[in-house]
Amino acid sequence: MARARVYVTLKKSVFDPQGQTIHDALVSLGYDGVKDVRQGKFFEVELGGLPAEQARQTLEEIARKVLSNPVIESYRVEVEG
């Protein structure tokens, strides 16, 4: 069983209205030191029945084709041993 974490985040060049709103809320709560917030998505995926290298390839494919939209998002896949 492969366990993986997939992080999907908006690209740096893309405006993040949710992150901006959270940032503004934090500042209004008195956390003046907060300079920026970017919101993203986090997936934990368990994948069975594949050898490690193939599991990684499949997870990369899932992240690229389904979990993220390449126009606005980037992703990172971390596979546990």
Partner 1 sequence: MKVGVVVFPGSNCDHDTYHALKHVCGQEARFVWHKDSDLSGLDAVVLPGGFAYGDYLRTGAIARFSPVMRAVTEFAGQGGPVLGICNGFQILQEAGLLAGAMLRNRTVKFLSQPVHVRVERDDTAATAGLPVGSVLTMPIAHGEGNFYLPDDEVDRLEQEGRVVFRYTTRDGRLADEANPNGSLRAIAGICNRERNVVGLMPHPERASEAALGSADGRRIFEALVTSLVRA
Q: Which residues bind partner 1 (CB under 8 A)?
A: 10, 13-18, 21, 66-67, 69, 71-72
Burial group, residue 3, by CB count within 10 angstroms (0-12, 13-18, 19+): middle
Q: How far apart are CA 47 and CA 58, in angstroms?
A: 9
Compute the least distance from the CB of residue 31 to partner 1, in Å: 19
Helix (H, G, I), strand (E, B) or coil at 61: helix
Tell me whether residue 25 or residue 52 sits nearer to partner 1 (CB atom): 25
Tell me whether residue 2 or residue 10 sits nearer to partner 1 (CB atom): 10
Compute the least distance from the CB of residue 52 to partner 1, in Å: 26
